[in-house]
């Protein structure tokens, strides 16, 4: 299981929206956060999100202990099961 948390603020909505376009990924809510989950890897394309760099590199609020970020660069954010 892969779980990623992103705070629901206007700058971050593109992150959740692009994540949700993958049918293997679910986007739910916990409090004011998007809870983005999948049984396998979650990959989010930065350019598709429309996030400028300052937003992109600070968009992740939390990563569950059974998951880890394996890519977070100008191209994509990738979170995989540990």
Partner 1 sequence: MTRPDHRVKGVDHAAFPTFDPAGTVRFYRDVLGFPVVHSICAVGWGPEDHPDFIHFFFDIGNDDRIAFFYYFGTEPFNTGPYNKTGRGDAYSAFGPEVPTYFIRSRHLAIHVDTYEDLIEYRRRLDASQWPVEMQIQHETIESIYTHDPNGYMVEITRAMRPVTPQEDLDANLTIDALLDVVAEPGPSLAKLLARKAELIVECAAQWELERAGHERP
Q: Which residues bind partner 1 (CB under 8 A)?
A: 3, 5, 7-11, 30-33, 52, 54-55, 58, 60-65, 68-69
Closest to partner 1 by CB, 23 vs 29, is 29
Minimum CB–partner distance for residue 41 and partner 1 (Å) = 16
Q: How many CB atoms lie within 10 A of CB 2?
A: 22
- What is the rounded distance in angstroms from the CA atom of residue 75 to the CA atom of residue 11? 17
- State both tokens at 71: 């890519």
- Shortest Cβ distance from residue 47 to partner 1 (Å)? 17
């Amino acid at each position: 299981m892969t779980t990623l948390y992103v705070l629901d603020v206007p700058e971050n909505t593109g992150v959740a929206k692009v994540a949700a376009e993958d049918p293997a990924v679910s986007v739910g809510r916990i409090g004011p956060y998007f809870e983005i989950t999948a049984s396998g890897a979650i990959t989010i394309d930065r350019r598709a999100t429309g996030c400028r760099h300052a937003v992109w590199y600070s968009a992740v609020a939390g990563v569950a202990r059974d998951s880890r970020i394996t890519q977070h660069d100008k191209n994509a954010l990738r979170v995989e099961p540990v």
